[in-house]
């Protein structure tokens, strides 16, 4: 009951029934991209869980999987087709205030899907967060920032924010992912 956060490795394919049942201190969990389904009552009564990201490989969310998780304010699904869910999968989540984030263009599909209907705040997002791939980012003047907005002075591994001043004086802000 004292577990506050957990990162599950990508080797995990399923969560068994009641895996995290009653982990009342759990506030965050990183669900692996390899996960295929979330079983019945997996997170039931995780009363302090605030947000969840359901990877695109997840095909179903079991009955009462998030029942009693009344503090969830954000649910993000990464698939354009919502995972199969029962009407009780999210019992206790306040669908009038919780935000359901789905890939842009799939808002209506999610709004009508069994187990997912009833959310008043459905938001579409760009799945990668990056609108275009940049092949040549060099320009007259550039400033580099971390995702939190701190000025870094150079590109670093991971996500970078680059403000470019082009030859014509226009300024463009880009997200750059360095591997």
Tell me what the mean pLDDT of segment 75-98 comes to.
Answer: 94
Distance CA 43, CA 63 (A): 11
Q: What is the pLDDT of residue 157?
A: 80
The per-residue pLDDT for 133 is: 46
Mean pLDDT of 49-65: 94
State pTM to two decimals. 0.70
Q: In what order do the strands lie in the sheet with 37-38?
A: 14-15, 37-38, 60-61, 84-85
Q: Over pLDDT 70: what percentage of the chain? A: 90
Note the pLDDT of residue 86.
94
Lowest mean pLDDT among 34-43, 104-113, 144-153: 144-153
pLDDT, tens digit, for every residue of 119-162? 999 999 887 655 444 444 444 467 888 888 888 888 788 887 88
Phi, psi of 84 (to 5 degrees): -60, 135
CA–CA distance, 39 with 19 (Å, rounded to integer): 9
Averaged pLDDT for residues 81-102: 95
How far apart are the C-alpha atoms of 92 and 69, rounded to whole Å? 6
Is the predicted pLDDT of residue 22 greater than 90, yes or no? yes
Q: How far apart are the first and last CA of the chain?
A: 37
Length of the chain: 179
Average pLDDT, the chain: 86
> Mean pLDDT over residues 104-113, rounded?
90
Average pLDDT on 103-130 reads: 86
Q: Do residues 84 and 108 touch, judged by C-beta distance below 8 A? A: no
Predicted confidence at residue 129, as pLDDT, reads 53
Helix or strand run (H / E) with residue 111: helix 107-112
The structure tokens listed for 161 are: 């924010």
């Amino acid at each position: 009951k004292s577990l506050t956060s957990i990162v599950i490795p990508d080797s995990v394919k399923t969560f068994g029934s009641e895996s995290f049942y009653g982990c009342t201190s759990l506030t965050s969990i990183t669900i692996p991209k390899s996960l295929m389904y979330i079983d019945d009552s997996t997170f039931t009564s995780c009363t302090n869980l605030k947000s969840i990201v359901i990877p695109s490989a997840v095909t179903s969310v079991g009955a009462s999987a998030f029942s009693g998780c009344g503090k969830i304010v954000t649910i993000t699904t990464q698939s354009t087709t919502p995972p199969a869910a029962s009407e009780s999968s999210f019992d206790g989540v306040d669908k009038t205030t919780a935000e359901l984030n789905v890939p842009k263009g799939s808002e209506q599909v999610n709004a009508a899907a069994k187990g997912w209907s009833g959310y008043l705040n459905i938001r579409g997002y760009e799945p990668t967060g990056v609108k275009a791939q940049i092949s040549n980012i060099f320009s007259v003047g550039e400033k580099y920032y971390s995702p939190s907005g701190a000025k870094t002075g150079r590109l670093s591994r991971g996500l970078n924010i680059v403000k470019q001043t082009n030859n014509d004086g226009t300024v463009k802000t880009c997200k750059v992912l360095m591997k």
